[in-house]
């Protein structure tokens, strides 16, 4: 479930609508640990990497690696699963070993 506390905050509402839309789609596509491959979502939504940079700079997501694997910062507030329903992310060990990385890819780079 998406938290109104987050999406009705000034921090969220001050972002461009395209970044807000991208955030919702990242949540829908994230696994049970709040980790999502952002590139397919960018392609699906026709968003650009600048929209993702906005989400990173506003601390809604942080990048786990340079392949645009991202973690939704407020995942726990928005999604609570019973332990018997949760599936561990295939990127869980990567997330646990990485700190937030700045997002510095150039536009158009794959």
pLDDT per residue of the chain (110 residues) written in tens, 0 to 9: 788 899 999 999 999 999 999 999 999 999 988 999 999 999 999 999 999 999 999 999 999 998 999 999 998 887 766 677 667 777 777 766 665 554 554 444 44
Give 87's Cβ-side CA count (13 Å radius).
5
Contacts of 100 (CB under 8 A, 6+ apart): 62, 63
Give 64's Cβ-side CA count (13 Å radius).
21
């Amino acid at each position: 479930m998406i938290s109104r506390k987050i999406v009705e905050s000034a921090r969220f509402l001050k972002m461009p609508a395209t970044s807000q839309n991208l955030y919702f789609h990242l949540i829908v596509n994230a696994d049970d640990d709040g980790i999502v491959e952002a590139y397919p979502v960018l392609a699906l939504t026709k968003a650009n990497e600048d929209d993702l940079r906005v989400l990173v700079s506003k601390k809604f997501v942080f990048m786990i690696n340079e392949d645009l694997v991202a973690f939704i910062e407020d995942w726990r507030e928005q999604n609570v699963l019973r332990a018997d329903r949760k599936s561990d992310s295939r990127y869980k060990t990567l997330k646990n070993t990485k700190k937030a990385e700045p997002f510095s890819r150039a536009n158009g780079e794959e």
